[in-house]
């Protein structure tokens, strides 16, 4: 009996498929690696940015890349970009005013938590302040900021320095000066001292904005009472001035009437018939009067108004 052995080629075909898949995977991985290396070989620095290079061999490089297209060493250099445009950090009583500002954490409801500044005046009264600090990174020393401070410069420098300087400035003034016209002087002092602190940490201060000051309730009530008292005092002064003016007017009027009476008396003394003339004139303003003597008065008006015979006949 003849025995035949049949060999199947299915195992060899499967191996060929696996080998082909491995080769395809290797090619794809190589292509992806090459694309990654190419993509990481260049750095594009946008407008208003600077890039700092950290080398795994020599550390932070002592320069920063300006705006534009730059070459990079993948897997060796690690670039970090910084925004050198003006930034605003606001310390306020919460709400949405400071939403999105760098360094302000957001709560779950989309609002900024209360970060208002509390300061004491020289006479010990507490003030609640809403303060904004506008600044930017020194574009020529970004690499120093990255090396000495890091990307958390808002929490490390801006916030604590601003709060410390503001508290010290307000502590040098009584609450009455803060309420009155010295507020701008205090802000100027904060800006001057804070600018020096920022400069030592490679930050440039642009402006300090004092958005709001909330005084203690007892002080606010005292101010309101003082304003009411001042308004009442002004009203009293006005009333006194008006009474004095009215009195003066009456005195002048009385003096005028007295002078008029005196002149009339002088005229009557010189011409006694004048009183008779005034009497007739008041009876009939259109009358024409002739005084013949001290006892006889002839009214020409009566003569002129007497109808003639012809008139009578006409009637």
DSSP bridge pairs for 185: none
pLDDT score, position 182: 85
Burial tier of 233 (Cβ tally within 10 Å: 0-12, 13-18, 19+): exposed
**Look-up: residue for tokens 């490390």?**
156
Q: How far apart are CA 285 and CA 266, in angstroms?
A: 24
Residues of the chain with pLDDT under 70: 1-12, 37, 94-113, 219-236, 238-239, 267-268, 270-315
Q: Which neighbouring-strand residues pair with 207?
A: 134
Predicted pLDDT at 102: 47
Interhelix angle 159-170/183-199, nearest 10 degrees: 140
Report how far residue 158's alpha carbon sits from residue 90's, in angstroms, rounded to the nearest whole number.
10
Spatial distance between the Cα atoms of 121 and 124, rounded to a whole number of angstroms: 5
Q: How many CB atoms lie within 10 A of CB 131?
A: 23
Six token digits for residue 243: 């009474």
**Residue 287: predicted pLDDT:** 54
Query: What do you get for the CA distance between the two ends of the chain, in Å?
Result: 187
How many Å apart are CA 139 and CA 51, to the nearest integer? 10
Burial bucket for residue 306 (CB in 10 Å: 0-12, 13-18, 19+): exposed
């Amino acid at each position: 009996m003849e025995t035949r052995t049949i060999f199947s080629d299915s195992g060899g075909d499967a191996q060929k498929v696996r080998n082909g898949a491995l080769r395809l995977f290797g090619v794809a991985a190589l292509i992806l690696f090459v694309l990654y290396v190419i993509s990481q070989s260049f750095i594009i620095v946008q407008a208003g940015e600077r890039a700092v290079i950290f080398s795994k061999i020599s550390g932070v490089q002592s320069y920063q890349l300006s705006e534009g297209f730059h070459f990079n060493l993948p897997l060796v250099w690690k670039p970090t970009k910084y925004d050198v445009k003006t930034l605003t950090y606001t310390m306020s009583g919460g709400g949405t005013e400071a939403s999105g500002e760098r360094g302000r954490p957001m709560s779950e409801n989309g609002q900024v938590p209360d970060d208002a500044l509390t300061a004491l005046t020289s006479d010990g009264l507490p003030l609640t302040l809403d303060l904004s600090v506008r600044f930017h990174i020194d574009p020529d020393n970004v690499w120093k900021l990255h090396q000495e401070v890091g990307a958390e410069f808002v929490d490390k420098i801006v916030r604590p320095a601003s709060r410390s300087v503001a508290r010290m400035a307000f502590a040098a003034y009584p609450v009455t000066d803060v309420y009155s016209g010295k507020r701008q002087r205090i802000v100027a002092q904060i800006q001057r001292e804070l600018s020096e602190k920022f400069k030592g940490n490679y930050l440039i201060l642009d402006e300090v904005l004092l958005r709001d000051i909330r005084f203690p309730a007892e002080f606010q009530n005292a101010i309101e009472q003082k304003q009411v008292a001042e308004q009442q005092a002004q009203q009293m002064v006005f009333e006194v001035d008006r009474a004095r003016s009215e009195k003066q007017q009456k005195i002048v009027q009385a003096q005028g009437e007295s002078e008029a009476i005196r002149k009339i008396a002088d005229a009557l003394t010189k011409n006694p018939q004048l009183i008779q003339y005034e009497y007739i004139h008041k009876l009939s303003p259109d009358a024409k009067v002739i005084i013949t003597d001290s006892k006889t008065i002839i009214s020409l008006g009566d003569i002129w108004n007497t109808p003639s015979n012809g008139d009578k006949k006409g009637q």
